[in-house]
Amino acid sequence: MPGGVDLSFRMPPPVFGVGLIEAIPVATILAHADPDDEDGDGISGRPNWVMPPEFVPAHHVGGGSELQLGRFSRKAQVTSLIEQVAAAYQQDMGITNDFIPVENAHPQSGGGMAMGDLVADPEIPAATVLLTALYVRLLQPPARGEQSAQVQRGETLFAEIGCANCHVPMMRTGKNPIPELSEVDAHLYSDLLLHDMGPGLADNRPDGDASGSEWRTTPLWGTRLVGDFLNGQEFYLHDGRARSVDEAIRLHGGEAAAAQQSYEALGAAGQAAVVEFVKSL
């Protein structure tokens, strides 16, 4: 990469359950924000207010001509599913579309056409992007795993040591034209807010209003399936550096430092219960 470019190694977040995230009212999310830490618990979750691109219409969640609440991606820097999908086509796959019709040029191409791409732009119509957005909107999050006695104990400890202060177990969606998304409980285990996770997890790359050490609380639903992919290997945190749930918890810092220290103080049995709980989600 050219010198001076901000680099951030990131695992792609799963796309199931994003329809439920989209359906949660802004007021519900903001109710968990405490940017000035007024309650003195050391946790100051705050929203990432982002100006959406012009192609996202005002009637769509996250669209309009004013700052909107970021909900998606690692730093909540994306406000809408239309932008998330359109940008994934253009940036991740190099497929231009009616929303983003210009190629993401290769640094060695001189700023012109992407190297080796001779297809006329845009390559797919808006209808394809919208259908893909509808598809991911309807992807149901995985069901919980077995609720053993150890899992239940781990759930209690998870709340007692403060993990649930950011990994909020449930938020309820508002009214939605899609019945499956309307006024239902979304068990995402996230507050969808930004938290400073300390220098150890910082990538030093800002996104929107998010600083280089802030991250959106990662939803934990579907964690039990992590080991089923990538040849049975487990990868956690934004860059996959943690190879187990236990390691991921121990790497938490910043606003999560108190919860991390409380986890370490539980002892082996308590720690195993918390891990078993997280891996049941």
What was the pLDDT predicted at 114? 59
CA–CA separation, 151 and 279 (whole Å): 9
pLDDT of residue 113: 57
Q: Are 184 and 20 in contact (CB under 8 A)?
A: yes
Contact predicate 222/16, CB 8 Å: yes
Structural domains in the chain plus CATH codes: 18-137 (no CATH), 149-278 (1.10.760.10)
b (16+ CB within 10 A) / e for 20-56 = bbbbbeeebbeebebeeeeeeeebbbbbbebebbebb
Tell me how far apart the alpha carbons of residues 126 and 145 are, in angstroms, rounded to a whole number.
38
pLDDT at 115: 63
pLDDT at 12: 87
Provide the pLDDT for residue 147. Answer: 94
pLDDT score recorded for residue 6: 80
The residues of the chain scoring below 50 in pLDDT are: none
Q: pLDDT tens for residues 117-154?
A: 788 999 999 999 999 999 999 999 999 999 999 999 99
Q: How many CA atoms lie within 13 A of 157 on its CB side?
A: 24
- Kindly report whether the global pTM for this prediction surpasses the value 0.75: yes
What pLDDT shows up at residue 104? 78
Q: Provide the pLDDT for residue 238.
A: 96
Q: What confidence tens digit (pLDDT) does each residue in 217-252 have?
A: 999 999 999 988 878 899 999 999 999 999 999 999
